[in-house]
Amino acid sequence: MLTFEVARDLAGVRLDRFIQGRIPRLSRSRVQKIIRACAYRSDGSRRRPSEIVKAGEVVLLVRERFEEPDVPLDFGVLLDDGVVLAVDKPSGLPMHPTATYHKHTLSHLLRQRYAAGGGFAPQIAHRLDRETSGVVLCGKTRSAERTLKMAFEAHRVQKTYLAIVRGELEREQLRIDLPMAPVSEGLHVLMAVRPDGLAAQTDLCVRARRAGHSLIELAPRTGRQHQLRVHLAAIGHPIVGDKLYGPEREAPFLEYIETGMTPALERRLGHARQALHAHAVTFAHPSGGAQTTVRSALAPDLEQLWAAL
């Protein structure tokens, strides 16, 4: 519940404009929807966007308690030496809180498992998409957290991914060197190959081919948003299950937002999630600088997908 007392100088304005002034990040249309759903007077009666507010009154915004979507709430531990914690993140588990997820996030689970008594919780040093499984590095001390984050920012960490893609690649090895930038129109989260974009390179090695698909190993040399997915789509081999960069582009993503994962949508995508796994991370250990590699075996659902082809 949020409470807003109307100051004397704001008396006489419409309720929707009053709320928008208190929460500027919201559009007026969004504010009006919130008022219709959540705005009350102190006596419990409902309010309308066009009402005029009075000096001294209290406007209440009450949101019903929401249930977070179900996600995997367990993760494996690949390394824990008191300085670095490497976890094996399952697909579907978000890294950090959002409007939809709070307790169902890796950061919250880390606090629960390692800092329930109020100590220092392991801090995540980099990011993976919610659907991507595999290795995530965390610092168990403030110094280790800072060192790991600086190493990622400076591209001193070597990352290797495994992916199942559409089509059988002809070449065993390939470097994809295609600049990237945000799309000029459409969904704002999308990236695209563009001549005026930032440099982006990905090294690719084919591990196996089967039934019109390839199991490949990927090593990004740069760290652009959605780089692996965009690069693979650009060479005609999108990742199986990719809702944004597959053959239908963003249409499956919009359908998924509207209806969730249906059997028909899963058949079109080839898998319920993007078949991308963070396989290995090599880094200089914060204590002493020794080169350290942590590996995660291909996630069980992707093993099953590959075996079923």
Nearest to 181 by CA among 193, 169, 189, 171: 193
Angstrom distances, CA of residue 40 to CA of 30, 53, 169, 236: 17, 12, 60, 54
DSSP state of 297: P
For residue 282, list its beta bridge partners: 158, 293
Whether the Cβ atoms of residue 85 and residue 135 lie closer than 8 Å to each other: no
Assess contact for 184 and 127: CB atoms under 8 A.
Answer: no
Burial 90-115 (b: 16+ CB within 10 A, else e): bbbbbbeeeeebeebbbbbbbbeebe
**H helix or E strand, kind and range, residue 61:** strand 58-61
The residues annotated with a catalytic role in the active site are 129
For 106, the enclosing helix (H) or strand (E) is helix 106-114
Q: The tokens of 24 are what?
A: 């500027």
